[in-house]
Structure 1
Amino acid sequence: MDAKKLAAIFRQLGASDPDSWASSEANENIPQLARYMFLKGAWDRIASDDELSWIDNVIANVPPESNDPYAGAAHSIRRMIAAGVSRTDIATLVRNSQAEFLFDICYMMADPGSVSGNADLVNWTLVECDAAGNLGRSINGLHESVLETDPTGREVRPKKDAG
């Protein structure tokens, strides 16, 4: 696909610099659309710092006596709210932790040796494939683009009005 068509796709997806992403794919054969789509999908799963209703949903859906997997989050949130922590601060903490985890996973994909220094035991990569499942180009260096794909445009920096 040529750079102009790719740039239009990146623009439609909300990329901050669509021409640069498209040019890199078209001219350097780097699977930037696949990289961007993976990171966009990951960011879509990270808590928004503008939408706080998930906090009340977590509390409402986990009974105080629950010992189910992931119930600890609801218990912790209840204690934080009882201690006077604002929902905004809870969301900021969760969002930052999730973004850092995304970076760590992406870095681990780029450097399997970072897993307890066991580079000789395993190697892996994320690969694009076509509709029939035929493997294509490796999608490398995802960790390098985690911050620039933050949908807020702040690269996980605090909001200006945040304390």
Structure 2
Amino acid sequence: MADAERLRRLLAALGAEDPQGWAESEVRENLPQLARYRLLRALSQDIEAWDSAAIDSLRAWMKAEGTDPTDPVAETTRIARAVARETVFSVLHRLADPNGDDLPTELRQQLPGWLLMETTPAGEPTHRVLGALYEDLGTTESPAAAPGDRTVADGWIRETNLRAFCESLAAEVGYDFDDSDWLAIDTALPHTDDEQPRSAWYAYPLVGRTRLDLHVARSVGGGEVSVSVRGTVDSRTRIRVELLVDVMARYAVAPG
């Protein structure tokens, strides 16, 4: 298969409207058009995630933070700042993790990625990668600029279902939940109590296509775990997370 034809097929699989044009441009001009289209596609999905449910979530956060919802200027300013913050977070995450998209594994294995690299003052690469910038975004923000509590779902689940719940929740945002993640949660859980304030519950971040913060605490003397999931998500993800909490409360999930 010629390079142009291979590129055309991959671009078509990504949903490009003019895969032939993109492919010919890469071959003729030696531009990384396939990588560019893949990144732009992912960022476009992040834009589309800002639906009415996400905005309603922000409004609920502002109300909890004490912002006067009758002040249109204050409301617009806070929403704009929160959207900008979440957008920057998404861009930094996409730059750090090209594979944090919704593509099938067999397609991902054929696609180029990218990285963000430091340069000297003269513009020469130092080969030092600026990785995982999204993890430190909050260190440069004032407390007022940081996002507050945006609850996606609250409830309780069976304690025996907790690992399955964590793995399923992580899958919703494309986070690879492994044994080390589970060890951290499993080790902390016995020291929690859901009768304590939420601020005393154990919190664990799940950072994939977007970020969810999972807060957990045991029901002392019972077989349940109280859970609270927070983040900014679209309506589809919110519904799926709410359903996940309901299923993990009603049924005992057998290991796969």
Larger Rg: 2
TM-score (norm: length of structure 1): 0.38
